[in-house]
Amino acid sequence: MKALILVGGFGTRLRPLTLTLPKPLVEFGNRPMILHQIEHLAQAGVTDIVLAVNYRPEIMVAALQSYEQEYNVKITFSVETEPLGTAGPLALARDILAKDDSPFFVLNSDITCDYPFEQLRDFHLSHGNEGTIVVTKVDDPSKYGVIVNQAGHDSKIERFVEKPKVFISNKINAGIYILNPSVLDRIELKPTSIEKEVFPFIAQDGELHTFDLDGFWMDVGQPKDYLTGTCLYLTHLAKKQSHLLSDPTTHDYVHKGNVMVHPSAKIGQGCRIGPNVVIGPGVTVGDGVRLQRCVIMEGATIKDYAWVQSSIVGWNSSVGRWSRLEGCSVLGDDVTINDEIYVNGGSILPHKSISANITEPQIIM
Ligand code: GDD
Ligand code: MG
């Protein structure tokens, strides 16, 4: 089987992390975001993966080469000379996607869930129409594609409205599709939105279905949602793959569970860590540190008695003794927070050193 991942643009909403790495390579649960998708696609029998990008992909090409062998998939980069939106990239990759007459998966690269590829494929083949969209329910559907099913029909879609201004339903597009190659005949090779210019018409023809997602889902393309998505993912692991989390019976620093610590990280004495914390490779956590709902990336240092809550500490950064980070603060690569500093909602660009308190959310360049 085949799949195309919409990798897209510069990931500006996930700055300052994306100033250092392209969004798909930013770690989520200690592994590059895109690797979660590649792994699940491979498990479902996908052998051809197209990554649709609209910037120079050199860093990604190098990083992903090793995964081709590891997961036994062929990864092709399809590079746009101008951003082609969410549908144009399918036309650009037509040669691969239409190669045989079988359906292909399409994924937004910034979403996380318990990917249901095999069930999705089975359901899609069972109804025989052109496309199936994975859907989930959210409280605030206004920033998503919203879906209304046909009256009296469990799965057939009547309307697809991208980011509606008025409430029509709380069933949203989760950003995972399976489509027949015939859909390619509906897409021209030019900047096109699949949500606005393709799905509404397939729905009109009665050829588009929903597939309900079980379990967690999140678009993790911005820091606040990345943290929420991390909590959901860790909660999911606690239920399904608890061996990936620190065992509270043998690690007394674990507080209320959902703590993932890379084996190469060092944790000091008397720390209280959790719930919902990810600690990356080579991280050093000092003594008496309090971590809660946060992600500490590779090579970072959290010094003695620091407190980090609802924040992301980027690669190789350091948080000083007795310092406090909260309010969705994000430190880019190699940021230094000096001792006894308070940071609330700071978004701090790579290589900065902070020696005065940041009490209100702001970007430090
Ligand atoms: N190759 C390529 N080229 N990819 C692109 C382009 C482009 O020009 N523009 C966007 N993408 C990629 C993004 O990187 C992302 O993976 C995906 O397409 C969706 O774009 P976003 O910018 O993240 O859209 P969104 O989050 O506002 O809305 C989309 O996702 C929601 C679910 O998270 C829509 O598909 C909504 O309908 C959906 O509910
Ligand atoms: Mg998105």
Per-residue pLDDT of the chain (365 residues; tens, 9 = 90+): 999 999 987 778 889 998 898 888 899 999 999 999 999 999 999 999 999 998 777 878 888 888 898 899 999 999 999 999 999 999 999 999 998 889 999 999 999 999 999 999 999 999 999 999 999 999 999 999 999 999 988 899 999 999 999 999 999 999 999 999 999 999 999 999 999 999 999 999 999 999 999 999 999 999 999 999 999 999 999 999 999 999 988 999 999 999 999 999 999 999 999 999 999 999 999 999 999 999 999 999 999 999 999 999 999 999 999 999 999 999 999 999 999 999 999 999 999 999 999 999 999 98
Coil/strand/helix, residue 42:
helix
Secondary element (H or E) of residue 197:
helix 194-197
Rounded to the nearest whole angstrom, what is the distance from the C-alpha of residue 6 to the centroid of ligand 1?
A: 7
DSSP assignment of 252-272 equals TTB-SS-EEE-TT-EE-TT-E
Domain positions in the chain are 2-219, 234-363
Q: How far is the CA of 48 from the centre of ligand 1 (A)?
A: 21
Give residue 111's identity as a one-letter amino acid code. I
Q: Give domain 2-219's CATH superfamily.
A: Spore Coat Polysaccharide Biosynthesis Protein SpsA; Chain A (3.90.550.10)
Asked if the ipTM is above 0.95, the reply is yes
Q: What architecture does CATH give domain 234-363? A: 3 Solenoid (2.160)
Question: Which residues sit with their C-beta closer than 6 Å to ligand 1?
Answer: 6-9, 52-54, 80, 83-86, 89, 108-111, 144-145, 162, 172-173, 175, 195, 219, 221
